[in-house]
Amino acid sequence: MPIRRLPEGTINRIAAGEVVERPAAAVKELVENALDAGARRIDIATSNGGADLILVEDDGAGMDEGDLRLAVERHATSKLPERNGEDDLSHIATLGFRGEALPSIGAVARLSILSRTAQGEAREIKVDGGKVTLMGQVRNAVLKDEAGSAVKKIEGVESVDNQIEILPPSPNDDRIRRQVARAIFNDDGLFPYSMGSVPPIHIIVKGGHVSLEGIVNSQADKDRAGLRANGVPGVFEVQNNLKVQQAGK
């Protein structure tokens, strides 16, 4: 059999086999990413031993839109320090640094990453083999187009489904979001949730309708957050999607 160059898709799947040999290895990689991001809370859920589903949620420092795009590009990393203008491989202080985990998982599974920074909007990117789906909300059509163009340039990406929603400018929604955040995090019982770099309670506002996403410690905290959000003037409806942390996790 003559020597031939392998197609990009085959190369990615071979590399994925070296990084992700079984579902537990994928969980290890995702947990290490969370720890390197400074997470204090990590929740893991699996189905069928991880063969059907692996879900990892954490409260570490999130990624903005640019970092989210780079996160699925092989050998792109934020964990490799520099010294004198060069990558310093002798002073690595993180659990991982090669930038292979997420693109490797995306090469052999359907990968979805939802992330936000402390001050930014939530963004989502999905990878299914060589197909990438972009999701989220922006207020500028140019940002949507730029995101799609940037992802198309990533090595190994075969197609991009740009589902980012363009929201109309809404000073009222921005005002409601700020007021809901104050109402929740100024509550004595809920104030501890504001202490992390990325609060575990996320507030999404669209047309006066508020969605609460994230994880809390108890049903009482979930109900309390919903009550505080409902009390903000101008809020039409509150969809309380907060999940209650299960005992022992």
Architecture of the domain delimited by 8-166 = 2-Layer Sandwich (3.30)
CB contact at 8 A, 62 and 33: no
pTM given for the model: 0.50
- Pinpoint the residues of the chain covered by CATH 3.30.1340.30: 171-244
Where b means 16+ CB within 10 Å and e means fewer, 68-97 reads bbbbbbbebbebbeeeeeeeeeeeeeeebb
With the C-alpha atoms ordered 6, 7, 11, 14, is the resulting torsion angle positive or negative?
Answer: negative
Instruction: List Cα–Cα distances, 153 to 16, 73, 124, 157, in angstroms.
Output: 20, 10, 18, 7
Tens of pLDDT along the chain (249 residues) come to: 565 565 666 565 555 555 556 788 888 888 888 888 888 888 888 888 887 888 888 888 888 777 777 777 766 666 666 667 666 666 666 676 666 677 777 777 788 888 877 767 777 888 776 677 887 777 677 778 887 887 777 666 778 888 888 877 788 988 998 999 999 999 999 998 887 655 678 888 888 899 898 888 889 999 999 999 999 999 999 999 888 875 444
- Pinpoint the residues of the chain covered by CATH 3.30.565.10: 8-166
CA–CA separation, 38 vs 81, rounded Å? 16
CATH of 171-244, one of 1.10.600.10, 3.30.1340.30, 3.90.76.10, 3.40.50.720: 3.30.1340.30
State whether residue 126 is helix, strand or coil: strand
